[in-house]
């Protein structure tokens, strides 16, 4: 695996490639505003309204920026100095919150009082207790070892989550990171309780640096960039947060050709913004985001066969489509509720094989993705955890910002 960092049309692109194709793309503006709000940012907010019938509060966390704080998880946010000592959240309260999800269409950013301090191997969550292991770590011996290490910190009143990266990491490395995360938390809280509302206590790293942090350490063989500035920033980040990964950073040599051309970057993104995806068999997918959900339709297209083989052909197309749908969800960063209309299969065994194939493919996705079931109408329900905006929304937002700057 390779993590690619490059600039293109006023965008910074971070992409994961397996050498054959680009698996995922994140895009962000080349020139970001200092007041840009990102997932992971921590603020001192002021509660403007509490709506009991939806069990939520609306918090102004940045000047003029309202966020949605669910009270259903019963996490008590940390109040600033002078705040009450009980577990209520009332209008006028000044509390420390973290952005958990970007604003999506008409929905404001989602906030939480449970503050996540994220490392490469461990996530430290304030406001909850216990220890958890990534579901993607399935080896029982590894899970047991990690639980034993994290369990030593359980009495301190934190929730520690071992990330997928932690599976093959030395115990000493894990302990060093946990101690570093605790120091970051202490700094945030010690300063935060005396800060005024709307101040940012800690900014999340840019998306391309977060991808370095979040990438699977044992899978990423190289971090490649063709831009001098990105190389310097990545080098600085690795020195501070992941020195053992520094030797993976490579400055792309133009003698090997342009990075864009070698990895087919521009064409991949262009295709990822189109609703139609052609399959090798001649069939195709139509991907249509709507306000409530994302629909994916599987069509036979040019993939025709003799009438007696029609069900066999349909089963083959559906399996090919399942693999491509899993890839497209990750590439396009589709999230929320996804409904797939596969070609109807009469054989129950073919349906079973299709569902198993789809479940196996989505397990490769680092984002939590669940294949729910097939409905009576033959539609397959999938849910994918929301976080960053879709690739389409990322690109269009950057283009809109650029157009706005040119019009000024």
pLDDT in tens, 331-377: 999 999 999 999 988 888 999 999 999 999 998 888 889 999 988 88
pLDDT at residue 216 is higher than 80? no
* Portion of the chain with pLDDT greater than 70, in percent: 94
pLDDT at 32: 59
pLDDT tier for residue 164 given thresholds of 50, 70 and 90: confident
pLDDT at 84: 63
Sign, Cα dihedral of 112, 117, 122, 126? negative
* Chain segment 303-313, per-residue pLDDT in tens: 776 556 788 88
Mean pLDDT of the 216-244 span? 85
pLDDT at residue 384 is higher than 70? yes
pLDDT at 35: 58
The pTM of this model reads 0.77
Better-predicted residue by pLDDT, 73 or 255: 255
pLDDT at residue 33 is higher than 60? no
Least confident of 15-19, 125-129, 162-166: 125-129
Who's near 216: CB < 8 A, 6+ residues apart? 1, 164, 165, 366
pLDDT at 23: 93
Phi first, then psi: give them for residue 14, nearest 5 degrees: -120, 125
Q: What stretches of 21-173 adopt beta strand conformation (E)?
A: 22-29, 42-51, 56-62, 65-70, 78-79, 94-101, 110-112, 115-118, 122-126, 130-133, 158-162
User: To which H or E segment does residue 393 belong?
Assistant: helix 391-407
Question: Mean pLDDT score of the chain, rounded to an integer?
Answer: 87
Mean pLDDT of the 398-408 span? 75
Phi first, then psi: give them for residue 113, nearest 5 degrees: -85, -10
């Amino acid at each position: 695996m390779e993590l690619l960092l490059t600039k293109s049309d006023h965008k910074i692109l971070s992409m994961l490639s397996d050498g054959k194709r680009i698996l995922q793309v994140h895009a962000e503006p080349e020139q970001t505003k200092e007041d840009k709000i990102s997932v992971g940012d921590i603020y001192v907010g002021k509660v403007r309204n509490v709506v009991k019938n939806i069990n939520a509060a609306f918090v102004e966390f940045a000047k003029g920026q309202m966020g949605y704080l669910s009270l259903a998880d019963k996490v008590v946010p940390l109040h600033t100095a002078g705040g009450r000592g009980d577990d209520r959240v009332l209008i006028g309260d000044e509390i420390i919150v973290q952005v958990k999800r970007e604003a999506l269409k008409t929905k404001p950013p989602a906030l939480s009082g449970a503050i996540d301090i994220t490392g490469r191997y461990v996530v430290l969550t304030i406001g909850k207790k216990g220890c958890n292991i990534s579901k993607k770590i399935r080896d029982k011996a590894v899970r047991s070892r990690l639980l034993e290490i994290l369990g030593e910190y359980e009495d301190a009143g934190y929730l520690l989550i071992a990330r997928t990266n932690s599976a093959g990491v030395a115990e000493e490395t894990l302990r060093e990171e946990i101690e570093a995360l605790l120091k970051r938390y202490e700094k945030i809280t010690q300063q935060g309780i005396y800060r005024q509302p709307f101040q940012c206590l800690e900014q999340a790293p840019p998306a391309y640096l977060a991808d370095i942090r979040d990438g699977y350490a044992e899978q990423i063989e190289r971090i490649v960039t063709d831009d001098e500035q990105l190389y310097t920033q990545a080098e600085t980040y690795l020195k501070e947060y992941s020195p053992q990964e520094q030797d993976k950073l490579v400055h792309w040599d133009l003698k090997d050709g342009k990075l864009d051309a070698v990895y087919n970057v521009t064409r991949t993104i262009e295709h990822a913004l189109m609703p139609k995806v052609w399959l090798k068999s001649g069939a195709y997918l139509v991907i249509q985001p709507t306000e409530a959900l994302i629909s994916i339709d599987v069509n036979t297209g040019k993939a025709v066969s003799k009438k007696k083989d029609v069900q066999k052909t349909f089963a083959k197309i559906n399996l090919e489509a399942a693999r491509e749908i899993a890839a497209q969800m990750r590439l396009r960063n589709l999230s929320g509720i996804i409904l797939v209309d596969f070609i109807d299969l009469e054989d129950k065994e073919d349906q079973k094989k299709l569902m198993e194939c789809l479940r196996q493919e989505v397990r490769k996705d680092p984002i939590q993705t669940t294949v729910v079931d097939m409905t009576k109408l033959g539609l397959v329900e999938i849910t994918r955890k929301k976080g960053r905006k879709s690739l389409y929304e990322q690109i269009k937002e950057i283009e809109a910002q650029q157009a706005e700057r040119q019009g000024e």
